[in-house]
């Protein structure tokens, strides 16, 4: 068993170990649930009280089957957060979530990162100003190109809107 700490390196190891455990339990035809994962990781140390405390912190049931960590990471993040809190003795809210989310991106590089604030990446101030005449000209070019590519499907009305033929 690896020594569990509140660091990003440890979190990467936990994410990778969780995926390996999922594959191992699947090969053994066992349920991939919190109880099975804790029993395989901690052995005799995973008593009913230990399992209950982890389940209580992550607000999940011990026998409920977990989804794939690479596709649905939220439940697993709370699960790993609870494991770190219980084994290290720190508060559940003191676990470094930024390091845990960054470790997920390292462990599963092809997946979408957890908790990416999309609003901070998109700033309206950085967009160039577009004049209304230019926007209207671009829209007209688009409508003309669309009409030339599919003339049978479009019918223009008086005000320039399109309608499908019935």
Domain for residue 67, yes or no? yes
Domain for residue 139, yes or no? no
Q: 1: Cβ–Cβ under 8 A, 6 or more apart, which residues?
A: 41, 42, 43
Residue 108's pLDDT is 85
Residue 123's pLDDT is 47
Cα angle 117, 119, 125 (rounded to 5 degrees) comes to 140
Domain for residue 131, yes or no? no
Residue 127's pLDDT is 47
Residue 13's pLDDT is 92
Q: State the DSSP code for 33.
A: B
Domain for residue 136, yes or no? no
Both tokens assigned to 24:
């191992």
Domain for residue 41, yes or no? yes
Domain for residue 145, yes or no? no
Structural domain tally of the chain?
1
CB-CB contact of 74 with 66 (8 Å): no
Per-residue pLDDT of the chain (166 residues; tens, 9 = 90+): 678 888 899 999 999 999 999 999 999 999 999 999 999 999 998 999 999 999 999 888 878 888 888 778 888 899 999 999 999 999 989 998 889 988 988 988 887 777 655 554 444 455 456 566 777 777 777 777 767 776 555 555 555 555 555 5
Using CA of residue 117, residue 81, residue 57, residue 89, what is the dihedral sign?
A: negative
Domain for residue 56, yes or no? yes
Residue 71's pLDDT is 79
Residue 152's pLDDT is 57
Q: Considering the entire predicted model, what is its pTM?
A: 0.66
Segments forming the whole domain that contains residue 49: 8-115
Residue 12's pLDDT is 92
- Report the alpha-carbon distance of residue 127 to residue 121 in Å, rounded: 12
Domain for residue 15, yes or no? yes
């Amino acid at each position: 068993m690896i020594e569990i700490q509140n660091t990003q390196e440890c979190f990467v190891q936990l994410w990778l170990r969780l995926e390996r455990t999922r594959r191992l339990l699947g090969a053994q035809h066992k349920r991939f649930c919190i109880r099975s994962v804790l029993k395989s990781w901690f052995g005799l140390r995973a008593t009913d009280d230990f399992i209950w405390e982890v389940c209580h912190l992550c607000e999940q049931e011990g026998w409920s089957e977990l989804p794939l960590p690479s596709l649905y990471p939220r439940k697993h993040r709370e699960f790993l957060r609870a494991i770190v809190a219980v084994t290290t003795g720190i508060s559940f809210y003191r676990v470094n979530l930024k390091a845990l989310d960054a470790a997920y991106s390292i462990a599963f590089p092809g997946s979408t990162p957890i908790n990416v604030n999309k609003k901070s990446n998109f700033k309206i101030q950085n967009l160039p100003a577009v004049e209304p005449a230019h926007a209207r000209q671009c829209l007209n070019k688009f409508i003309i190109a669309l009409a030339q590519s599919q003339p049978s499907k479009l019918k223009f009305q008086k005000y320039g809107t399109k309608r499908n033929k019935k």
